[in-house]
Amino acid sequence: MDIRKLQKIVVDALEDVKAVDIEVINVTKLTSLFDRVVIASGTSNRQTRALANHVQVKVKEAGGEVISVEGEETGEWVLVDLGDVVVHVMQPAVREYYNLEELWATTPGKRRKLIAETEAAQKQ
């Protein structure tokens, strides 16, 4: 499936179930494993699971493939692997803590610095 079509299906599915703060990050220059990272927030465990489930349903309806899903048990952070697109549906506190936008949106040198700073802060 075309990456733009898959991205649109994912974003539309998230909007259908009222996801908050949807962000799409093009990571083609950072990794060869996938092309897009989509991050969205849900307001509760139930909503994050519903958002992830709706993404899966819409992708399958369009003929796409869901590779795997992780985190449905707790609903704090649900990851949906669609191959070229990886979807992270998170509760706001979890999203703020892991700050994936910063991790994926920066250059590799800044990412290494951010990781080192984070590790140093956690040791204190």
Domain ranges of the chain: 3-98
Helix (H) or strand (E) holding 13: helix 3-16
Structure tokens at 113: 């610095």
pLDDT value, residue 95: 95
| pLDDT level of residue 29 (50, 70, 90 thresholds) | confident
pLDDT value, residue 30: 84
pTM for the whole structure: 0.84
- pLDDT single digits (tens) 14-24: 999 999 999 99
pLDDT value, residue 109: 58
CATH assignment of 3-98, given 3.30.460.10, 3.20.20.150, 1.10.287.950, 3.40.50.2300? 3.30.460.10
